[in-house]
Chain A
């Protein structure tokens, strides 16, 4: 090793073993590296040392007294002794104090068998104690529907409290009282109201905090573990599913593993029961003449589908088919679905739920920088020195990416600029805007003009990358001209943010060396989403951050495999790769591999399919795991379109509104019942593993596609999901190299060059034009359909755990608006506009901005009728997340 590298290393001896570790390492960690496990309770690598449990005492030569190894940093030449008799004696004494109050209830404790205290007791203590006093007993109190506390067992290490504060930034746990009588509580006797991330359950070294979902149901040694990936958002968290026989017992995650490093959110930790909901479809269903479903065998169902598909193909050609697949499927299934649609049915009408917003991120990335993936990773977020969050309530949509942002700000002291409609008010769940250095409170429909304001600040304050003007004069002049057409007065008036704040934010970002932009649903799922992302890429280029290491624009995927859906070619405009659908060489290669001729017709996306279905051009649709009837507003006339089909096949877990319209319903497996891979939002391909046997007669989606192709006499046969992955690797060379960190693609120089020379001109005439949607005087409130931390789509609403935290929707509004309307939390409110009127419950929240109301999209069954559907001309994304409404209080008697 070179001399210079050695400077940061410190050499020390632990129990006679010499090792070199980086400066600043704690003794306990250095010992771990040479295989010396020092017992501890309060220490945890994620938390700052507290040294309150005194269990990790060691002798360090030349230092007086024993030292706590969790709070002592290594020094050159240090000699640490952990296995000498008097250290053992000291630890025994510490344990004796802890055990003085610990109940002997191991036989009924869920932690029994994996408890640190149990292990150390076996290791250190005699079976008797010198204490004759009574043990402290806390009265049993109800804590929360999902998390249970048994304070008699608490060793007061404060790990839960510190985790809740330092990692989650929620601060919902309070150690009340003092000394032995310290007790972990929420707020007085109130039941816990927090993010329910389960972190306290996971981090408790004893059985003081446990999950109620599996209380008394198991002993740890009965559990069989399966390491897999969570399905509830694009973060792609590692989860370990623990089952007893075929019963799901719990989900946890291990520190140091996965993209989440063991941290989870409520969805990941408590949401696992959705898969085993009793409403799961157990058998294939075929619709009878009377409109009712009858149970069928797989043979009957597949043969019927094959026969109908063949018939329609012969009569109308491949273009009469439309296919829609959910991005919750594995890569293998998405790949096979598009292969089935394009290869077997011969249709280019293929789309996935990535259409609902994620394409707004990937399409601009692809056209500006030639790569559709993040050019940075989660590690880069943590290491960033400036982060710009736009339109993302990241805590609720992508909680674990949110943790990386929190870590960057709290530990790395990164500058955080948030452009978000949420107000920086503290609540029971954390609020990322509270950590912001500069917060730009922008109404959900004003992100576009606020982004223009940001770029204008860069130009007006001379923050442009010095070389850019000579390198790309046309680009610079054109963008400047486009931006100049909007005046500061207009920007300030519409966005409500002052020019000064824009300047400060632009300064903060452009003075960084590692700057990242993270965009969320507020941008991707709003009208002009793709334009806003392109503008933000311009912003990156102007500030000179584009293409720099650790910099980049990162769109957040909502569904676990949105990214995979695009890469597998399960969207209209792409073949696997993603390669543009018209790319000649790729078409040739695929034709050869699949042994078919690829269809020539132009591709059609989700909304075009429905349009053509209503026009009678699409005769049959194959919908896998999607429920467009419910996820799109009634004004989109999706139901009418589907009813006009000759034949509809749905492959589903549940009999959804869409599945009820189907002629054949095929029962599919959920993520816990199948193997495959998911690609997370940062482009990390991770293995999904089967944890339990398929429910009922359900089969993995890929198996159904494969079986159907066999019945249709155009077999796509695979023995297991891995075989499909091999084929994917042959189509996309090097896809999914498995490693601990996602690869960081760099922008393609030629594509960026092309963009700077002429590509930028595409759409330039419109994408900087600021339009303003004025509310009508009778509908003054902007209603936004937003994601909740506790749910993901409609799937999670089948999870009994999550339903205990949030089981219904409520319209959330600002206290000042509520006061004006005379509304209090819990009141009935009538929400109405020209499309209809809906009565729901109000919830007053400080963080909701004035003149805005939010409603969780997971419970929008009734309120959906108020939204209109707009379709993006460029990216064909259907937008239906914003509408204007009026709110009125409803007297109890009127309901």
Chain B
């Protein structure tokens, strides 16, 4: 239960807004952080905290694509499919990842480790193709690099190839 576990944090969130309802997105984020997705019980609880009905919470949660409405694997792999990454080869990369993991977009591997999502621009256009796994960016991807990343994640839960919050694009060489 969120209310018990994050009592102070929720009180702090509620104090930030003149209207209770405004804390809906922060609370949905909290719920997603807690369970990896926004569960029905979390939505009901948030409704109660904010004095809303569960359908009102559900409505908001489903509007935003970054809220997961179903349980996800340990690693949420979000590969950019927008134009910039597309120009430098994200399409074949996505195909390759699908084969490698054996799942399509929106699906989770049977070992519950990887969930694949294909997403719009993550704002790292200078270093494509790129993907985000949980909170980390992985840039200038190739099949080989992605393979290594998956292996490392599987073995250690971490990968040395992550580039942190952002990477500065290199000047164009003429």
- Complex contact A177–B63 (CB within 8 A): yes
Residue on A nearest B55 in the bound complex, by CB:
A174
Q: For chain B residues 62-89, which have a beta carbon within 8 Å of chain A?
A: 62-63, 65
- Complex contact A187–B58 (CB within 8 A): yes
B40: chain A residues within 8 A (beta carbon): 187-188
CB proximity of A177 to chain B, nearest CB, Å: 5
- Complex contact A426–B55 (CB within 8 A): no
The reply to whether the CB of A759 lies closer than 8 angstroms to some CB of chain B is no
Give which listed residue, B53, B62, B63, contacts A426 with CB less than 8 A.
B53
Q: How many residues of A contact B (CB 8 A)?
A: 16
Chain B interface main SS type: helix
- Complex contact B59–A172 (CB within 8 A): no
The reply to whether the CB of B105 lies closer than 8 angstroms to some CB of chain A is no
- Complex contact B53–A172 (CB within 8 A): yes
Q: B45-64 toward A: CB 8 Å interface, digit per residue (1/0)? A: 00110011111101100110
Give which listed residue, A173, A177, A428, A434, contacts B62 with CB less than 8 A.
A177
- Complex contact B52–A174 (CB within 8 A): no
Give which listed residue, B43, B48, B53, contacts A171 with CB less than 8 A.
B53
Question: Known interface pairs A177-B63, A178-B63, A188-B40. Does A426 touch B51 (Cβ–Cβ under 8 Å)?
Answer: yes
- Complex contact A188–B53 (CB within 8 A): no
CB proximity of B55 to chain A, nearest CB, Å: 4
Give which listed residue, B48, B52, B53, B58, contacts A176 with CB less than 8 A.
B58
- Complex contact B63–A187 (CB within 8 A): no
Q: For chain A residues 566-581, which have a beta carbon within 8 Å of chain B?
A: none
A358: chain B residues within 8 A (beta carbon): none
The reply to whether the CB of A175 lies closer than 8 angstroms to some CB of chain B is yes
- Complex contact A171–B55 (CB within 8 A): yes
For the complex, give the distance between the alpha carbons of A179 and B62 in Å. 11
The reply to whether the CB of A185 lies closer than 8 angstroms to some CB of chain B is yes
B58: chain A residues within 8 A (beta carbon): 174, 176, 185, 187-188
Q: A154-178 toward B: CB 8 Å interface, digit per residue (1/0)? A: 0000000000000000111111111
For the complex, give the distance between the alpha carbons of A187 and B56 in Å. 8
A177: chain B residues within 8 A (beta carbon): 62-63
Residue on A nearest B63 in the bound complex, by CB:
A178
For the complex, give the distance between the alpha carbons of A174 and B65 in Å. 16
For the complex, give the distance between the alpha carbons of A176 and B40 in Å. 14
The reply to whether the CB of A186 lies closer than 8 angstroms to some CB of chain B is yes
- Complex contact B55–A173 (CB within 8 A): yes
Residue on A nearest B54 in the bound complex, by CB:
A187
For the complex, give the distance between the alpha carbons of A29 and B4 in Å. 51
Residue on A nearest B69 in the bound complex, by CB:
A188
- Complex contact A186–B52 (CB within 8 A): no
CB proximity of B103 to chain A, nearest CB, Å: 21
CB proximity of B63 to chain A, nearest CB, Å: 5
CB proximity of A188 to chain B, nearest CB, Å: 6
- Complex contact B55–A187 (CB within 8 A): yes
For the complex, give the distance between the alpha carbons of A177 and B55 in Å. 12
For the complex, give the distance between the alpha carbons of A176 and B65 in Å. 11
For the complex, give the distance between the alpha carbons of A426 and B43 in Å. 14
For the complex, give the distance between the alpha carbons of A170 and B58 in Å. 15
A173: chain B residues within 8 A (beta carbon): 55
Q: B93-131 toward A: CB 8 Å interface, digit per residue (1/0)? A: 000000000000000000000000000000000000000
- Complex contact B62–A172 (CB within 8 A): no
For the complex, give the distance between the alpha carbons of A425 and B74 in Å. 37
For the complex, give the distance between the alpha carbons of A171 and B59 in Å. 11
Residue on B nearest A177 in the bound complex, by CB:
B62
CB proximity of A793 to chain B, nearest CB, Å: 30
CB proximity of A410 to chain B, nearest CB, Å: 15
Give which listed residue, A178, A185, A434, contacts B55 with CB less than 8 A.
A185
A172: chain B residues within 8 A (beta carbon): 53, 55
- Complex contact B59–A174 (CB within 8 A): yes
Residue on A nearest B59 in the bound complex, by CB:
A174
For the complex, give the distance between the alpha carbons of A176 and B63 in Å. 6
B63: chain A residues within 8 A (beta carbon): 176-178
Q: A253-279 toward B: CB 8 Å interface, digit per residue (1/0)? A: 000000000000000000000000000
Residue on B nearest A183 in the bound complex, by CB:
B62
- Complex contact B59–A175 (CB within 8 A): yes
- Complex contact A186–B55 (CB within 8 A): yes
B62: chain A residues within 8 A (beta carbon): 174, 176-178
Residue on A nearest B44 in the bound complex, by CB:
A187
Q: A348-369 toward B: CB 8 Å interface, digit per residue (1/0)? A: 0000000000000000000000
For the complex, give the distance between the alpha carbons of A172 and B53 in Å. 7
CB proximity of A189 to chain B, nearest CB, Å: 9
For the complex, give the distance between the alpha carbons of A187 and B40 in Å. 9
B53: chain A residues within 8 A (beta carbon): 170-172, 187, 426, 428
CB proximity of A439 to chain B, nearest CB, Å: 14
A175: chain B residues within 8 A (beta carbon): 59
For the complex, give the distance between the alpha carbons of A188 and B56 in Å. 11
Residue on B nearest A186 in the bound complex, by CB:
B55
A185: chain B residues within 8 A (beta carbon): 55, 58
Q: Nearest 6 A-B pairs (CB), nearest first?
A: A174-B55, A174-B59, A176-B62, A171-B53, A187-B54, A187-B55
Would you list 12 pairs from A and B whose C-beta atoms are within 8 A, ordered by A residue?
A171-B52, A171-B55, A174-B55, A174-B56, A178-B65, A186-B55, A187-B54, A188-B40, A426-B48, A426-B51, A426-B52, A426-B53
Given contacts A174-B55, A177-B62, A428-B53, 14 further A-B contacts (CB under 8 A): A170-B53, A171-B56, A174-B59, A174-B62, A175-B59, A176-B62, A176-B63, A186-B55, A188-B40, A188-B43, A426-B47, A426-B48, A426-B51, A434-B51
